Amino acid sequence: MQQDIVNIIEEVKAGNKTAFKYLVDEHQKYAFRVAFRVLCNEDDAKDVVQESFIKIWKNINNFNLKLKFTTWMYKIVINSAIDKLRSFRRINTVNIDMLSENLCHLERHGPDVQLENRELENIISHIAEGLPEKQKLVFILRDIQGLDSVEVEHLLEMPATSVKSNLYTARQSVRKRLSKLMACERRVV
Amino acid sequence: MKCDDIRGKIYTWVYSDVHKLDDEQIQHITDCPNCKAYYQDCHRANRITTLLSQKKPTLENPQKLSSDILDSIDELEPKEIRVRFRLFNVSKRILAAASVCLIIVFGYEQYIITDKMIKLEEQMSAVKATTVNSSQLKEILRYYPSHGIESLKSTLASSLKDSQDKSFKSAVLLAGYSVLSHDDVKKLLHEYLAQAKSPSEDSSVVNKKEKE
């Protein structure tokens, strides 16, 4: 498998577009998931995937074949997503009723339940929106993307103490938001 | 037991599996409604983010995205070709400039050589057919191509005693015209010297009388 990807990348390095198409087809879903979790928006995530693959095409000659391609691609996608997130201040409008329903749906059925992108967008946006940029990025990368603290420090070029304190504050904010949401829901019921 | 301390412990417990709460702390959470609510909120928040991290957003119509990406790559191509073309133009200009420089350098050198040859010829024509004196030789050597002067001087000095004026003059003239190497001059001299059978009257003096 590793040899196959090496051969494909060699072809891409030689300018073979068919090989590049294969690379895109194989990895775009993963790239989309990474970008989506940072941006909480389907269209923005698609834009980031497109930008990232253009960067990959342009810089494929710099890729060291001894490394894992997905790791290299992940860094490109996550950095593009972070840049995009920093470039705009989008305020997502969240429908609270729908959000409560989505959250209940999520909690009752656990990890196996299939959520629509819009529902995921709704939940992540609600719990992460309004957080200061650093807190939001640390929270998304650490808790939603599932990276470890060292990877977050490296990606955001932040010291360990800063990652830890931003994560703590972000988690407290998320806890309060969810608590308020649940309190509203209980009052309604 | 302070509630703040307990909440710190709850946070660490909920977000990392390493720490555990002791019986006293658990009892406090059970008895204190605020700490209990804090524990429940933390636990819920952690559960929701964990569940979210396990969800996989689906990419609808991946073929469309794939095709958009490839179209973008195709659009990049002309730009890169234009850049390459521009680079080619720049390198063409550099080549042209380098050629002009080379022409100037070699042209000037050629001019110097030609100029020297003309002056050498003038000096040679001033010498009588079979006679040359030291000052005339000095003038001739002055205009002789610089890279061969020293070697020519030594060759001539060692060979003159056996040479005829005519041969010497012809050799110098020929060597000067052809800008020959030291070995070629030597060879030419020897050829002329071979033709001149009779020895010179004075080997140390360049000025010689014409033989009758």
DSSP A62-129: G--TTS-HHHHHHHHHHHHHHHHHHH--------HHHHHHHHHHHHHHGGGSPPPHHHHHHHHHHHHT
Mutate to test the interface with B, among A105, A141, A143, A186 (most CBs of B within 10 A): A143
pLDDT at A92: 56
d(CA A180, CA A96): 11
Q: What is the mean pLDDT of residues A153-161?
A: 89
Query: Given A20, A107, A179, which is nearest B47 (Cβ)?
Result: A107
Model confidence at A146, pLDDT cuts 50, 70, 90, reads confident
Asked if B57 lies within 8 A of A45 by C-beta distance, the reply is yes
Sequence ranges of the domains in chain A: 2-87, 96-188
Which residues are within 8 A (CB) of B86 and not within 5 positions of it... i.e. 6 or more apart? none
Structure tokens at B67: 């095709």
pLDDT at residue A170 greater than cutoff 50 = yes
pLDDT at B168: 59
Model confidence at A121, pLDDT cuts 50, 70, 90, reads confident
Residue A145 contacts B where some CB pair is shorter than 8 Å: yes
pLDDT at B200: 45
Structure tokens at A180: 């308020």
d(CA A25, CA B70): 11
Model confidence at A111, pLDDT cuts 50, 70, 90, reads low
pLDDT at B93: 80
Average pLDDT taken over every residue of chain A? 82
pLDDT at A180: 78
pLDDT at A25: 93
Asked if B76 lies within 8 A of A57 by C-beta distance, the reply is yes
Asked if A106 lies within 8 A of B11 by C-beta distance, the reply is no
Structure tokens at B80: 């890169």
Model confidence at A160, pLDDT cuts 50, 70, 90, reads very high
pLDDT at B79: 47
Asked if A32 lies within 8 A of B59 by C-beta distance, the reply is yes
Sequence ranges of the domains in chain B: 3-54, 116-195
- b/e map of B155-194 (b: 16 or more CB within 10 Å)? bbeebbebbbbbbbbbbbbbbbeeebeeeebbebbeebbe
User: Residue holding tokens 């969800």?
Assistant: B55
Q: What is the mean pLDDT of residues A154-167?
A: 91
Report which listed range, A111-120, A127-136, B137-146, B190-199, is most confident.
Answer: A127-136
pLDDT at residue A5 greater than cutoff 80 = yes
Look up the pTM and report it.
Answer: 0.58
> Containing H/E element for A152?
helix A149-156
Residue B55 contacts A where some CB pair is shorter than 8 Å: yes
Q: Which fold has domain A96-188?
A: Arc Repressor Mutant, subunit A (1.10.10)
pLDDT at A27: 93
Q: What is the pLDDT of residues A33-81, one digit of tens each?
A: 888 888 878 888 999 999 999 999 999 988 988 888 988 999 999 999 9
10-residue mean pLDDT series, chain B (212 residues): 83 78 86 89 84 80 89 73 58 85 86 75 59 56 59 57 55 55 58 51 41 39
Query: Given A29, A111, A179, which is nearest B51 (Cβ)?
Result: A111
Mutate to test the interface with A, among B48, B68, B74 (most CBs of A within 10 A): B48
pLDDT at A95: 60
Question: How far is CA A10 from its chain centroid?
Answer: 28
pLDDT at B198: 44
Fold match, A2-87 / A96-188: no
pLDDT at B212: 37
- In terms of CATH architecture, what is A2-87? Orthogonal Bundle (1.10)
B87: left (phi over 0), alpha (psi -120 to 50) or beta: alpha
Asked if A28 lies within 8 A of B15 by C-beta distance, the reply is no
Rounded-to-5 percentages of helix, strand, coil across chain A: 80, 0, 20
Query: Given B37, B53, B76, which is nearest A144 (Cβ)?
Result: B53
Model confidence at A181, pLDDT cuts 50, 70, 90, reads confident
pLDDT at residue A165 greater than cutoff 90 = yes
pLDDT at B129: 45
Model confidence at A183, pLDDT cuts 50, 70, 90, reads low
ipTM value > 0.90: no
pLDDT at B211: 41
Mutate to test the interface with A, among B41, B50, B71 (most CBs of A within 10 A): B41
Residue B42 contacts A where some CB pair is shorter than 8 Å: yes
CB-based burial label for A25 (10 Å; 0-12, 13-18, 19+) = middle
Structure tokens at A130: 């309004």
Structure tokens at A131: 């957080």
